[in-house]
Each structure stands twice: as structure tokens, then as C-alpha cells.
Structure 1
Amino acid sequence: MTRRAALVAELAGTAALLAIVVGSGIMGERLAMGNAAVALLANSLATGAGLFVLISTLAPISGAHFNPAVSCLFCWRGELSKGDLVAYIAMQVTGAVLGVWLAHAMFDLPILQAGAKVRTGTGQWTSEAVATLGLLATILLGLKANTKSVPAFVACYITAAYWFTASTSFANPAVTIARSLTDTFAGIRWLDMPGFIAAQAAATLFVIAMLKLNSATKSAENEISTTVGSLP
């Protein structure tokens, strides 16, 4: 596939993802009539189902990252150039914002909004670090176990992480930025956005550091093995 097609896929895929996240949050909250658990259940199931479809259909075109953290990981692995990394992130952030605006339009809400839901504190930041680390680990281990099942692995993980993390698992800087632009069920106060992104970045750097350490360890073991094997 061409670079242009890949960038369009990242833009469209991330936009669709945010339309699903925000739109299902709005619908869930309206139909739940004040029951937050039911609203979150609707939100998480719709997001997981949407992720499965988006990753399955767009992975052959762009890799279906939809997430700067994922793109950074694949850039470190040498599967995405630095130039493409910048372009991917730009498309992901732009697509995420467009997706939020599309959700607002579908529900006849003001397009331009500012998030007001407070999401801050050590528990929230720890949750975002755990959610991001878990997502990246799911992708890496999934690629080793069964590449074709990665869409299902990611969809199931995110659905579960909505419930076991206090932050409801944003695990994505582009998603975090976009959700600061909606004053709906899925929103986040813009003042709380930097803390979430910092936690997500820290988790990404931790995963990359662990991969570097593992790679260095394997290289050292191979060198020792080669040296020992060459001894008379």
C-alpha cells in the first residue's frame, strides 16, 4: 500500500474510533437513565467491537495503529520511519478530533466543546500507565502468538481495561487530546489531559527500555556462545 493510503487509513480509522467512543458514551448515558454502570458497559462493548472491525480491516493498509504510543513502538522496532511516525501522529490527532466532532454532530450537540469531567490523581495516572503498558504488551505478545488474532486480542483487552482501570483506559495520547474536546460521558477536563499523556508516555518508554534490555541481553548471550564455540 502507498504512504498516502496508510495516512488516510490512520486518519479515518482514528476518526471512526473516536466517533464510536464518544457516540456510544452519549447514547449509553441517555438510555441508562443515570445508571453509570450500564452506560460504561455500553461504552466498553461498542468500543471493543469497533476496534475489532477497524483493526481487522485497516491493518493491511497502515498497520491500524490509531495511537501515537503504538506508532512510537513500531518506529523503535524499525517498522516505521521517523518521518512516517510524525505523519502518523499528525493524522491520528487530527482524526481523533474529527471523530469527536462527528459524534457531536450525530447527536445534535454543539460541535465545539471543552471537557469538564475531572480525571486526576495518582490512581488515574497509575491506571493510564498500566492500561498503556498492557495494550503494548498485548500487541507485542499477540504478534508472537498469532498475528491474525491481534484485532481480537486488542479489542478484548480494551473492553476489559475499561473496567479494571480507574481511568477507564484511554491508553492513547491522541484519544486523550480529542476527549478533552467533549463535555459528554467520555470527556476529560483539559487540565487533566497532561497527566494522562505523561503516564501513557512513561509506559511507552518503559516498554521500549525493556525491549532494548532484552535485545542487549540476547546479543551478549549470542556473543558469548559464539566465543565459547570457537574455543579449541
Structure 2
Amino acid sequence: MTIALPRRLLAEFTGTALLVTAVVGSGVMAATLSPDDVGLQLLENSVATAFALGALILIFGPVSGAHLNPVVSAADWFLGRRAGTGLTGRDLGGYVLAQVTGAIAGSVLANLMFDLSAVTLSGKERSGGHLWLGEVVATAGLVLLVFALARSGRAPVAPAAVGAYIGAAYWFTSSTSFANPAVTVGRAFTDTFAGIAPASVPGFVLAQLVGLTVGVALLLALYPGVGAAADRVVVPADRAVPTEQAR
């Protein structure tokens, strides 16, 4: 049984909001606890984000697939079109809207939790070809991971695998691996450790879309039948719970 779209959109909104709350909130806490050590701040931020992301996939995966990322949703829609699987165009539009608004709400929530102004646009410039290349690499790798897991029947390990990948990518990419257009937009609404200046957002989002294209192209080359697995990204929403529980 496919879960009703409004329930899935609520899951995407809430899950993305909590993801951004974790990213921003752990950044604020890291800067407070380790004010003179940027490396330690990044470690604290990345570990909290990785664990939070894994937990959120476990919570919301059985409802919406826990995409929490327009890149994952767009890949799911594109790869599933010919096989008649994955998100429909209507679903995709709803998912992206829920994810972006959820990300903004999550940033506001984190600001309020730490007694900051609800909205303060970030002044942290993040621009340059090397950072955009980092976003291409991070995003392409994420798309490859998520859909390779689904195609090979290993979607149940996605919470741990995706959390581990994002945590690692904080360190091996020059951009600290945003890899998510919704999260990128949300992080513009906080002038804290995890923020990004609004003027830097378009470059990051464009790089993420390039990463999406690269990731999808590699998937089609490596896993030609990957579209058939689009219904299993990240967790199969129509099979994760018995029918009577999904109503």
C-alpha cells in the first residue's frame, strides 16, 4: 500500500527540519564549547550530523522514504520514469517544497533553541571553484550510494551508510559536503558556524545539480536497471509496514 502523499510530505518537512536543526544546533554548540579550535568544531558538527541523519532516516523512511534532499527526490523521479516506479512529477514538486520549507523551519528552530534571533541571514561567504567541485563530488557520491544500495537490495543499511558517508564527506570535500539544495537554502537563515551567505547559495545549488547529473550518469552506466529500484529509496514506503498499520 502506498502511503498518502500528505503524510509523506509531512515526513519530508519534519525530517528535513530536524536535519537542519541538528546541523545548525550542533554547529552552535561546537563553537560554544570549542571556541578556539575550528578542527574540533568541525568534528563535533560532523559527528552530530551523521548520527542525526541516520536516526532521521530510521524514523521517516517507512513513511516517505526519508529523502530529505531534493537531489535524491529528483534522481528518484528521473530514474523511475521508464520503469513506472519512484516519485511522480506531482510527488516530486511536493517533496521539494516540503524539503525546502522544512529546512528553513529547522534553521529557525535551531536559532531559537540557542536564544538567537529567529532569522539572521548568514554572512559566511562560501564561493570558489574548489568549493563547487567539492559539492559536485559530495553530491554525486551521495546519489551513487543511495541508489546502489537500493538496486543491490541493501536499502535497510541506508541509515548507517548515508550517515557515515555524509560524516566522512564533511572531511574529504573542500565544501564540507552540503550535498543538499534544501539544506543549503536553510543554512542561509542562520549566521552561525554552519551558515552560508545567501549570495553563495546559487553556486552551491548549481554544483549540487551538476553532481546529481554526474551521479545519475554513473548509476546508469554501472547499474543499467537501477530505475526498477526507485521505489526502494531510501526505505520502501509501501512495504516498510503492514497494510493495516499504514492506513
TM-score norm. by structure 2 comes to 0.85
- Structure 1 Cα separation of the partners of residues 76 and 202 of structure 2: 23
The one of 64, 67, 73 equivalent to 1:65 is 67
Structure 2 residue identity aligned to 1:97: I
Retained in 1: the 8 A contact 2:144–2:216?
A: no
Question: Which residue is 2:197 aligned to?
Answer: 189
Match status 1:161 vs 2:163: no
Retained in 1: the 8 A contact 2:185–2:201?
A: yes
The one of 1, 4, 10 equivalent to 2:6 is 4
Q: How far did 1:196 drift?
A: 0.4
Question: Which residue is 2:241 aligned to?
Answer: none
Q: 1:68-217 counterparts in 2 under 5 A?
A: 68-78=70-80, 79-143=86-150, 144=152, 146-212=154-220
Q: How far did 1:213 drift?
A: 5.4
Output the aligned Cα RMSD: 1.6
Structure 2 residue identity aligned to 1:17: L
Percent identical among aligned pairs is: 44
Distance 1:217 1:59, change over 3 A: closer
User: CA-to-partner distance for each residue in 1:16-69, whole Å, 9 max, x for gaps?
Assistant: 000000000000110002211111111001000001110012111000000000
- Structure 2 Cα separation of the partners of residues 46 and 216 of structure 1: 35
Task: Indicate the SS of the match to 1:150.
Answer: helix
- Structure 1 Cα separation of the partners of residues 103 and 31 of structure 2: 21
Structure 1 residue identity aligned to 2:37: N
Distance 1:141 1:86, change over 3 A: same
Question: Which residue is 2:231 aligned to?
Answer: none
User: CA-to-partner distance for each residue in 1:98-153, whole Å, 9 max, x for gaps?
Assistant: 00000000000011111111211111000000000111111122221522101111
Distance 1:48 1:118, change over 3 A: same
Q: 1:25-36 counterparts in 2 under 5 A?
A: 25-36=27-38
Task: Indicate the SS of the match to 1:167.
Answer: coil
- Structure 2 Cα separation of the partners of residues 60 and 95 of structure 1: 18
User: CA-to-partner distance for each residue in 1:168-202, whole Å, 9 max, x for gaps?
Assistant: 10000001111111110000111111110000001
The one of 50, 53, 76 equivalent to 2:52 is 50
Structure 2 residue identity aligned to 1:109: L
Task: Please identify which structure carries the higher helix content.
Answer: 1
Q: 1:13-24 counterparts in 2 under 5 A?
A: 13-24=15-26
TM-score norm. by structure 1 comes to 0.90
Structure with max Cα Rg: 1
Task: Indicate the SS of the match to 2:15.
Answer: helix
Retained in 1: the 8 A contact 2:139–2:215?
A: no
Structure 1 residue runs of 5 or longer lacking an equivalent are: 219-232
Distance 1:206 1:19, change over 3 A: same
Which range moves more in the overlay, 22-31 or 209-218? 209-218
Distance 1:214 1:117, change over 3 A: same
Q: How far did 1:206 drift?
A: 2.2
Structure 2 residue runs of 5 or longer lacking an equivalent are: 81-85, 227-247
